[in-house]
Structure 1
Amino acid sequence: MSMEFVSALGLDVGQKRIGVAGCDGTGLIATGLTTIERKSFQQVIAELQAMIHDRQVQILIIGLPYTMDGSLGFQAKQVQKFARAISHALNLPIEYVDERLTSYQAEQLLHAENISPSRNKGLIDRKAASIILQQWLDERKLKERLGAKA
């Protein structure tokens, strides 16, 4: 079964920083790429554009912080607003992934590696972004597998 080539960027959007992850051409493995400091919208777009061009990105996967009861709170609405703006500016489609536990997972992973989360916030953002993207890649793979059976 041939997997089509996929190039996606995973974004963990925060107030101050955006964690960015990319995947290999097979669309199997997500890895943290960088953390963008949010100074201005223009600057964020410029930094993303360079990566999108280099990696021939076709889609943006954005973590949406639902509240624990599954509703969209203030923060999630802010993320959606920002996501729509970058989707428009970069002319790329977006998909959302429920990221309720990704920052926590990222912190746990760092603890396991004996890295202090408070001193490595950029690293947490990148790891969170790669967890977001990995979740999307895994779901995509599962759908393909189920689709192949149908």
Structure 2
Amino acid sequence: MGYELGKRRSDELPTSGRLLAIDLGEVRIGLAVSDPTQTIASPSETLEVPRNQDGPALDGLVNAVGRHEVAGLVLGEPRQLDGSEGAPAQRARWFAERLRKRTGLPVALWDERFTTTEAERVMLAQDASRADRRASIDRVAASLILQSVLEAQRRRRTG
């Protein structure tokens, strides 16, 4: 289940225009972008950031927002298996708030449990080499997060 900062859903995201999904890691950040009609999520790029240096990571994300001309952001929130919030989820909230302030765009946090595992499964099914999986897994995980958001958006538009 996704939620807008403080809300338990993604109702604040626009229902048209590109969305950018972010799979936030400590060293690599995976990005995926939707088409303007919010039909398809596509892996986009991987940002390499210095370990534990959130300032350059935030700057890189703000630059990506401008390059992709997005209308809203989705940030994966790494919850514990029991649904509780640990340090990585708190870091995601920190990023979400700063992205909202720096870009002026709506930012929805979205439960990302199992997306990296699912991304690995998808890439193995495609017979991707270990090196290819390492280079691509973060952006594939971001596209899985984004695709689930797009499905929720589609239900919101038609429901």
TM over 0.5: yes
d(CA) in 1 for partners of 2:131 and 2:69?
33
User: Which segment is superposed worse, 57-66 or 89-98?
Assistant: 89-98
CA distance in 2, matches of 1:43, 1:92: 19
Q: Secondary structure at the match of 1:12?
A: strand
Q: Which ranges of structure 2 fall in alignment gaps of 5 or more residues?
A: 1-14
SS at match of 1:33: strand
The change in CA–CA distance for 1:68 and 1:89 in structure 2 (over 3 A counts) is same
TM-score (norm 1): 0.85
| Percent of residue pairs bearing the same amino acid type | 31
Structure 2 CA distance for partners of 1:63 and 1:82, relative to 1, 3 Å: same
Q: Which amino acid aligns with 1:8?
A: L
2-structure distance, mates of 1:85, 1:50: 13
Give the match for residue 123 of structure 1.
136
Work out which of the residue numbers 36, 46, 52 in structure 2 matches 1:25. Answer: 36
Q: CA deviation at 1:52?
A: 2.2
Are the counterparts in 1 of residues 22 and 29 from structure 2 also a CA contact under 8 Å? yes
The match for 1:78 is: 91
Q: Secondary structure at the match of 1:114?
A: coil
Deviates more, 1:5-14 or 1:32-41: 32-41
Bigger fraction of residues in helix: 1
Shift in Å, 1:77:
1.1
So what's the TM-score if we normalise by structure 2? 0.80
Q: CA deviation at 1:16?
A: 0.8
Q: Please give the root-mean-square deviation of Cα atoms over the aligned residues, in Å.
A: 2.1
Instruction: Say which one has the larger Rg.
Output: 1
CA distance in 1, matches of 2:137, 2:158: 31
Q: SS state of the match for residue 52, structure 1?
A: helix
Deviation digits for residues 105-138 of structure 1, max 9, x if unmatched? 0000011011244663230000000011111011
| Deviation digits for residues 24-63 of structure 1 (CA, Å, limit 9, x no counterpart) | 1111000011000113545434433343223321211011
Partner in structure 2 of residue 89 of structure 1: 102
Distance 1:72 1:23, change over 3 A: same
User: Quick one: distance in 2 between partners of 1:45 and 1:78?
Assistant: 12
Secondary structure of 2:44's partner?
strand
Number of equivalent positions: 144
Counterpart secondary structure, 2:85: coil
1:1-150 matched pairs, under 5 angstroms: 5-39=16-50, 40-117=53-130, 120-146=133-159
Opposite residue 126 of structure 1, the aligned amino acid is R
Distance 2:34 2:120 in 1: 21
